[in-house]
Chains A and B, each alone.
Chain A
Amino acid sequence: AQSVSQHNHHVILSEAASLELGCNYSYGGTVNLFWYVQYPGQHLQLLLKYFSGDPLVKGIKGFEAEFIKSKFSFNLRKPSVQWSDTAEYFCAVFLKLSFGAGTTVTVRA
């Protein structure tokens, strides 16, 4: 069975601060990894994905994530957050998308 754990339940930042959200998965085989974002009142949207190749993945809106196979991690980063990044962020592992519990990010203006 595969499972996903996210380290932080709620993160509060000021604008321009850097963001890093931790994600660890437990599955010994080849994995496809995703970060999804849910803005207030909106549906889940794909931020970025990793299937193979370069372990540093660039996504939309300046987000990136690094796959570290030896650590079973896929942490999400953004160098400088904006108020509009306030949302809930989910790390997920394919196939039937096993999601972490989510991390709520609040960015103060």
Chain B
Amino acid sequence: GAGVSQTPSNKVTEKGKYVELRCDPISGHTALYWYRQSLGQGPEFLIYFQGTGAADDSGLPNDRFFAVRPEGSVSTLKIQRTERGDSAVYLCASSPPGGESNQPQHFGDGTRLSIL
């Protein structure tokens, strides 16, 4: 079946620009997670949605980062005034209902963001 889909797969932009990264979770999955993975590091948690609401956004590094999930399905991660340090692979994961702590997360292929 279809897995988690992330678009675009690669994004190159100039410092200071605005970017949007999209995540299509697996159909029926209620929880959605965003992570950021820098070179040589493990994924770092950014934000977690349960349905339409952000249940935990404690991982967002600053107010340039924002994410939405207006209809409880597709999510968009938005980065304003991008900086070179934002360059990383942004991963999205989703998990089915039934107690998020007991459900493994299914990951997309990620969006590789490069800020020039």
Contacts and interface: CB of A to CB of B under 8 A. Distances in A.
Interface of A: 4, 6, 32, 34, 36, 42-46, 49, 51, 90, 92, 94-102
A44 B91 contact: yes
Contacts of B100: 95
Nearest to B102: A51
Interface stretch (B19-27, B38-46, B71-79): B38-46
Given A96-B48, A99-B42, 17 more contacts: A36-B107, A43-B91, A43-B108, A43-B109, A43-B110, A44-B43, A44-B93, A46-B104, A94-B101, A95-B56, A95-B101, A97-B33, A97-B43, A99-B43, A101-B41, A102-B40, A102-B41
Interface string B34-62: 01000011111100100000001011000
B31 to A, nearest CB: 10
A90 B42 contact: yes
Contacts of A99: 35, 42-44
A34 B42 contact: no
B3 A43 contact: yes
B24 to A, nearest CB: 13
A6 B108 CA distance: 23
A102 B91 CA distance: 15
B105 interface: yes
Contacts of B102: 32, 51
23 contacts: A32-B101, A36-B107, A42-B109, A43-B3, A44-B43, A44-B91, A44-B93, A45-B107, A46-B104, A51-B101, A90-B42, A90-B43, A95-B48, A95-B101, A96-B33, A96-B48, A97-B33, A97-B45, A98-B45, A99-B35, A99-B42, A100-B42, A101-B42
A96 B4 CA distance: 17
Given A43-B107, A44-B91, A96-B56, A101 B101 contact: no
